[in-house]
Amino acid sequence: YCTTKRRAEEDVLAQGGKGLDAVAVNPASVVGPDDYHESGFGTVCRRFWRGHMPLHFGGGNNYVDVRDVAAGHLLAAEHGRAGERYILGGTNLTYTAFFAELARLVERPIFRLRLPNAVAPMVAALDSWFGSKKHKWPYLTRSQVRLLSGYFYFSSTKAIRELGYQARAARASL
């Protein structure tokens, strides 16, 4: 999904120099109110709240409030330069810091186990193998390990400078 989305975006932006008035916005990990559907992030938060996440990884992400993303889209439509992309990010946090804040808010203990990044792929492979034997979806997949053990930190400096974009602290959005 991510690869094809990026290729499509690059194709559209390439047309910007040929008369197409296109601007791209790239939101970071979106958090905030009214997550009614089973979004990936919403599912993770619900699993954590229910106590179904016994471990965590070393890694981190950039979190942005959905309301700031909506405002950023409008700013990009009004002030963005054709053929440009703007990162709509918020706060860079380690997963440990993010879930510590979530634990504080929902009055739950943080994870019982920190899975070392070097061990996580082996655990995912075993989980997938056992899941296939029981005809069950694995709790932890290799692609999830790749995502959860990396640091996906971003800067919105260009959007701030050119669009007037502003983002609230991620903690205010939980």
Asked if residue 44 is part of any domain, the answer here is yes
Asked if residue 136 is part of any domain, the answer here is no
- Six-digit token string for 86: 């703007």
Q: Which range of residues forms the domain containing residue 15?
A: 2-116+154-173
Read off the pLDDT of residues 89-129 as tens digits, 9 standing for 90 and up: 999 999 888 888 888 888 887 776 777 878 888 888 888 88
Read off the pLDDT of residues 33-75 as tens digits, 9 standing for 90 and up: 887 666 777 777 777 788 777 777 788 999 999 999 999 999 9
Asked if residue 124 is part of any domain, the answer here is no
Which class for 117: exposed (0-12), middle (13-18), buried (19 or more C-beta within 10 A)? middle
Q: How many domains are there within the chain? A: 1
Asked if residue 144 is part of any domain, the answer here is no
* Predicted pLDDT at 66: 94
Asked if residue 142 is part of any domain, the answer here is no
Read off the pLDDT of residues 121-155 as tens digits, 9 standing for 90 and up: 888 888 888 878 888 777 677 777 877 788 999 99
CB 127 within 8 A of CB 136: no
CATH number (domain holding residue 36) = 3.40.50.720
- 88-116: b or e for each residue (b if 16 or more CB lie within 10 Å)? bbbbbbbbbebbebbeeeeeeeebeeebe
Q: Is residue 77's pLDDT more than 90?
A: yes
Asked if residue 69 is part of any domain, the answer here is yes
